[in-house]
Amino acid sequence: MPEPKRLARERFRVLAEEQLPRLYAIARRLVGDEAEDAVQDTLLKAYRGFDHLEHSAAAPAWITSILVNVCRDRGRARARAPQQVSIDAMEEFSLFRKIADEDPFPYSDSLHLDFLEQFGSEDVRAVLARLPDLYRIPLLLVYVDGFATKEVARMLEAPLGTVLARLHRGRKLFEKQLWEYAEEVGLLREGVR
Amino acid sequence: MISCAEAVEQLWEYLDGALTEQDRAAIEEHLSFCRRCCGEVEFADELRAFLAREASEEIPDEVRARLITTLDELGTE
């Protein structure tokens, strides 16, 4: 292998290996059991496009944007029926107030925290899975993976204002779905956990 | 003076530091006298930490090993 090509391959390997835990975590949240395949696809695509990456500081966002697109393609390929999430009255919904008004744990001194403590990681995954990708992807990229909204806008090839609006909706939907999920699976019964 | 509904509408953006100076000042003025909305802010902050914590995922060792094998094979064909 010629020297420049070998060096580029080495650089890519170091960068990609460093990013593996984060890439896998994002893929798990976006495509569940297909995460490993999605990361494999991402590595192949990223390797082929590595020559176009000008600044290594941009590498994490660059490789993540490839992953996000791979995951979105997989989501479309699975042709999953669009999740039926009601967005009626979503703008007015406040989980904080809902918990206070419904008071599911009357003997609690820390009602709101006790509400959150009913949820395990599996429950949170189930709640997130109910959100349409349109809202779920920016929500996760910003609040779990810590990307700036501008970076997410570039990854999703969407205007910043659109991403901010989807984030706003995503947060509201997340709050609403937490409550609805808790009601449906019986997390609101005192002492259930 | 903004209402509770207007304040609640922007709490996450407030915590994100994504509001304009004017909107931020309006929220802070509201929070200075509205105890309930202060509770909303604290809960929104808690909820963000909860989301980050509970949605985290670890890469299993065997998956990591397989992906590293993929990396080793790239460019060798």
Boundary residue ending a domain (A77, A105, A122): A77
Mean per-residue pLDDT of chain A: 86
For residues A162 and A140, give the distance between their C-alpha atoms in angstroms, rounded to a whole number.
16
**Listed range (B14-18, B24-28, B38-42) with the worst mean pLDDT:** B14-18
Is-contact B67 A43, C-beta < 8 A?
A: yes
Question: Which two three-digit tokens encode residue A178?
Answer: 């937490």
Boundary residue ending a domain (A46, A77, A108): A77
CATH code of the domain in which A13 resides: 1.10.1740.10
User: Within a 13 Å sphere around the CA of A163, how many CA atoms are in the beta-carbon half?
Assistant: 21
Task: Please write the tens of the pLDDT for every residue from B45-68.
Answer: 999 999 999 888 899 999 999 999
Is-contact A25 B56, C-beta < 8 A?
A: yes
Is-contact A143 B52, C-beta < 8 A?
A: yes
Closest CB to B51: pick one of A28, A92, A144: A144
- In what helix (H) or strand (E) does residue A141 lie, and over which residues does it extend? helix A133-143
Question: Which two three-digit tokens encode residue A135?
Answer: 């809202």
- Give domain status of residue A49, yes or no: yes
For the packed helices B21-31 and B35-54, what is the interaxial angle rounded to 10 degrees? 120
- Determine the length of chain A: 193
pLDDT exceeds cutoff 60 at A81: no
Shortest Cα distance, chain A CAs vs residue B59, angstroms: 6
Shortest Cα distance, chain B CAs vs residue A119, angstroms: 9
Provide the 3-class DSSP secondary structure of residue B24: helix
How is A93-123 classified by DSSP, letter by letter?
Answer: --HHHHHHHH-S-TT-SSHHHHHHHT--HHH
Residues A99 and A181 grouped into a single domain: yes
Q: Provide, as residue numbers in chain B, all residues whose Cβ is less than 8 Å from the Cβ of A113.
A: 46
**Listed range (A29-38, A133-142, A184-193, B60-69) with the worst mean pLDDT:** A184-193
Residues A68 and A120 grouped into a single domain: no
ipTM associated with this complex: 0.83
Note down the domain range covering A153.
95-185
Please give the domain boundaries of chain B with CATH numbers for all domains.
4-73 (1.10.10)
Tokens 């990456």, residue?
Answer: A53
Residues A100 and A173 grouped into a single domain: yes
- Do A25 and B39 lie within an 8 Å CB cutoff? no
Question: Which two three-digit tokens encode residue A99?
Answer: 């918990």
**Of A8, A146, A30, A29, nearest to B55 (Cα)?**
A29
Closest CB to A24: pick one of B52, B55, B57: B57
How is A10-45 classified by DSSP, letter by letter?
Answer: HHHHHHHHHHHHHHHHHHHHHHGGGHHHHHHHHHHH
pLDDT of residue B73: 87
Question: How many helices (H) and strands (E) in chain B?
Answer: 5, 0
- Give domain status of residue A160, yes or no: yes
Domains in chain A, number: 2
Question: Chain A interface, mutation test: which of B13, B47, B66, most A Cβ atoms within 10 Å?
Answer: B47
pLDDT confidence band for B13 (50 / 70 / 90): confident
Residues A16 and A62 grouped into a single domain: yes
Tokens 């299993």, residue?
Answer: B60
Residue A60 makes CB contacts below 8 A (sequence gap 6+) with A19, A22
0.90 cut: is pTM over it?
no
- Per-window interface: A 25-64 vs B, CB < 8 A: 25, 28-29, 35-36, 39-40, 43-44, 47
